[in-house]
Each structure stands twice: as C-alpha cells, then as structure tokens.
Amino acid sequence: RLRAALSRQDWQRTLAWIETLPEELASSERWRYWRARSLQELGREGQATEIYQALAAERSYHGFLAADRAGRGYNLDHTPLKVADELLSRIASDAGLQRAQELFHLRRLSDARSEWRAAIAELDAAELKAAAKLAQGWGWHAQAIFTLARTRYWEDLELRFPVAHQPQIDQAAGKRNLDNAWVFAVLRQESAFAADARSPAGAMGLMQLMPGTARSTARHLKRRPPRRAELLLPEINIELGTAYLRQVLKQLNDNPVLATAAYNAGPHRVSTWLPSKSAPADLWVEIIPFKETRSYTQRVLTYSVI
C-alpha cells in the first residue's frame, strides 16, 4: 500500500500509511526517510529537516539520501579493526588456516575455502575478527569480508570495501568513461571480489557475467569470445564487465540508477518499469517491483559512495 501510494506521489496517503506501521517498521531508516519526504512534499519543511538531520548520521542508503536532502556531508567514519598481536599470532598458527593460506596462494580457491570454513567453524567473535584481519593481509578480500560480517563489526571500511584490482578497474573504467567508484561497487555487490565466484544461474567471475552476455559483449568489441574458464580471470572479466556496463548505460540514456538496476534485472525489464512521466530517482528505486533488484540497486549506490 505504501509503495502504491508512493508510485502515485500521493504524499498525504503515504504519510497516513506510515503512521499506521508497527513501531519497529516506522522507526526503520527506510520509513523515517519517506516520512520526511512526505512531510517535505506537503510543505512541512521544519519537521522534514529534523528527521533528515538525524537520519544523515547513518552510514547507509537512506542515511546518504537524507544527507543530500539536509545539505550535509556523508557519514563515512572509518574505525580500523584492532586485533591484539598475541591473538593474531595464535590464529595465524592454526594448521587449518595455514593450509587455507597455502591453497589460496596456489589459486586452489575451492580447496582453500573448504579449509577456511572448517578452521573458523568454532571461533568466537574476537577470533573471527583476527581471522578476517589475516585474510585481508593475504589479499583474500572475499573471506575477509564474509568472516568479519559474521561478527557484525561494520566500522572497518577499508577491510569491507577494498580497492582490489584497481589498475585493471581504473584502466577499463577510464577507457569507457565510467565512474570507477561505481564499477568497484558493482564488483563488491556481485562477487565481494571473489574472482572465481559462480552463481547458481551460471554467472561467473568478479562482475558475475553470464557466458552468453560475455560472448555477445566480446563480439561487440570485435574480439574473440572468451572461453568459460577465462571469465574467471580478473583482467578479462573486468574488461568485458565494464564494456557491458557501458552498453547498458547507453541503452538507458546514461542514467546510472537505471543502469544499476538493469545490471541485475536486465535492460528490457527495467525499460518496462519506467514511469509514464518524470519521477525522482529515490522514488523510482523505492517502487522497483522486484525486491531483489530494489535491494541490489540500493546497495550498489551505497557502496559507490563508500
């Protein structure tokens, strides 16, 4: 009902429905933001600004939107993870983690992950943080990200949002006039920087390319279609992934919000979701009919800021 009211830009009804929500929903960042937006559209600027100012303190999608509305800078506070040397040494001496490290450096990534999962299965939160720090030091960013997430420690932005593969990304993004922060955000969302990532649907590599999409993109670039195994090579995956991202962006009038949604749901489907008349971007994202694509778009836009 709320999204239906938003799709019609019926701000009075949106506000009325928000006020009927249970407290745990009404106090969420999403509905605090849309309460403020409704108040603003209804001319109640003071009440809206008060909510925006409070919400802008959050390091999140709706927090960043509120900061834009309030004219404030984003909250990008970064607190590096601190792990005692003694604990780090003890965790580093674990035989299972040592095997995982060796296998990782041999690029036997599936075996490395198996060893890693077994080794950390019984670790407590402090030990998991130490393990995440170890993985970060090895350059195994995906395991660092996933392991730290289990502890719910969100403040180390450098560990959670690494700039891995920067030379390849800078080169490929620059060649296609793409914002490299946006490309990093897509990689972070698609694979968390796991070069050998494979989805159940068959998408592969850092930018989770479907083999068919990779082949058609390669033909568009007038280059040899890649073999499936080559899609797991970072330089090839990034080259083809950014080329496809540029194609999608061009199809959707160079609108990065639409292109972000289309990278997940496909350009044709996104074209069917376009409103009959111009709509604010934040509103369009909120009423994307697929929950997965809505969440995906919000995460990529958030990650690009970080």
DSSP labels, 86-112: HHHHHHHT-HHHHHHHHHHHTT-HHHH
pLDDT band at 77 (very low <50, low <70, confident <90, very high): very high
The pTM for the full model equals 0.96
Q: Would residue 158 show up in a list of annotated catalytic residues for this protein? A: no
Rounded Cα distance between 208 and 76, Å, is 28
What pLDDT, in 10s, does the model give residues 251-283?
999 999 999 999 999 999 999 999 998 999 999
DSSP labels, 108-171: -HHHHHHHHHHHHTT--HHHHHHHHHHHHHHT-HHHHHHHHHTTT----HHHHS--TTHHHHHH
What pLDDT, in 10s, does the model give residues 127-179?
999 999 999 999 999 999 999 999 999 999 999 999 999 999 999 999 999 99
Percent of the chain with pLDDT over 70: 100
Amino acid 194: pLDDT:
97
Amino acid 144: pLDDT:
98
List 45, 115, 155, 190, catalytic entry:
190
| Cβ(29)–Cβ(60) below 8 Å | yes
Q: What is the mean pLDDT of residues 208-213?
A: 97
Q: What is the mean pLDDT of residues 206-219?
A: 97
Rounded Cα distance between 247 and 241, Å, is 10
Amino acid 43: pLDDT:
98
Partners of 209 in beta bridges? 204
How many whole angstroms from its chain centre is CA 130? Answer: 24
Phi-psi region of 226 (alpha: psi -120 to 50; beta: other; left: phi over 0): beta
| Cβ(87)–Cβ(68) below 8 Å | no
Q: What is the b/e burial string over 55-80, where b = at least 16 CB atoms within 10 angstroms of the residue's CB?
A: bbebbbbbbbbbbebbebebeeeeee
Choose among 55, 67, 60: nearest CA to 27. 55
DSSP annotation of 84 = -
Q: What is the mean pLDDT of residues 184-194?
A: 98
DSSP annotation of 224 = P
